[in-house]
Amino acid sequence: MHILDGTAVRARIFSGLKPRIQELKRPPGLAVVLVGHNPASEIYVRGKIKACGELGIFSEKLTPPETISTAELLAIIDELNHRSDIDAILVQMPLPKQVDSRRVLEAVAPEKDADGFHPINVGHLVAGRPAPRACTPAGVIEMLKHYGIPMDGRKAVVLGRSDIVGKPMALMLLHENATVTICHSRTTNLAEECRRADILVAAIGRPAMVTADYIAPGATVIDVGQNRIDDRIVAKRLGRAEEFDRKGYALVGDVHPIEVLHCAAAYTPVPGGVGPLTIAMLMANTVALAESHQSRLESNQAIAESH
């Protein structure tokens, strides 16, 4: 069993980003919009701001109140779209119920879309053209490459069909020449379909749902899930009693953390597997957007000077 450590891959990505940041004329700028006080969102945003600090990326956190309207949030996005010191914009999900999330995400300028969620950037992903990529699946691809796990010609099963992970994950694996099946809650013979996979990506949002029945011997299992367990009996059954006693809760993925050890050849643990790479790829997107903004400015200046 090979445990795939995301922190090692993140360190490699960060060390590749630092010289690129130094070559820019100004630090890349990331704006994070965090509406209200969702505790999980606050933790994620703290991690993102911390990573910016480590790399020398300028970050600005905007915290509008829980009661904000769609129109007010759209005005904030519009202002960020027009700011020359901001290269990338991230709107932390979920948004409050009264806000039209789709309208807000689509209001972010595609060339400032830190998350790769804008329909134009999703279209670029489908077409295999360069554009910001959804951070979690992009991190999974980096993980597989870092550990030399072949994708070309392999059978990959993606469990989950969300716009954030499942769908872009399937497309990215397809671009690496894997043969891809997308499974979800309505798939018949779900365990049997998953057992066909050389690479199984679990992103369905159900704690420890993927048991040994779902995993082919020798498969690589990528666990994207992050589920909070508030019941000590459940935590104990999943081998997380010690963590529960320390924190009052335990974190588990979508894969059963004990059963996976007996059948998979390689596995990403939760926490410490895919999580660190989501933030690393957000930083990579921000730097790439800053580079393309700088090169656009330089080419516009060259055109202006030639006239």
Q: Which of 87, 112, 113, 115 is catalytic?
A: 115
Residue the block writes with tokens 């935590």? 235
Q: Which of 87, 92, 113, 198 is catalytic?
A: 92
Respond yes or no: is residue 48 known to be catalytic.
Answer: yes
Respond yes or no: is residue 115 known to be catalytic.
Answer: yes
Q: Which of 48, 112, 113, 198 is catalytic?
A: 48
- Amino acid (one-letter) located at 227: N
- The backbone torsions φ and ψ at residue 115, rounded to the nearest 5 degrees and listed phi first, read -95, -10
Residue 289 structure tokens: 């957007």
Contact 226, 275 (CB under 8 A): yes
Q: How far is 119 from 147, CA to CA, in rounded Å?
A: 31
Q: How far is 216 from 194, CA to CA, in rounded Å?
A: 8
Respond yes or no: is residue 236 known to be catalytic.
Answer: no
Q: CA end-to-end span of the chain, whole Å?
A: 63
Contacts of residue 168, defined as CB under 8 A and 6 or more positions apart, other chains included, come to 116, 122, 125, 133, 134, 137, 138
Q: Please list the residues that pair with 229 across neighbouring strands.
A: 250
Active site residues: 48, 92, 115
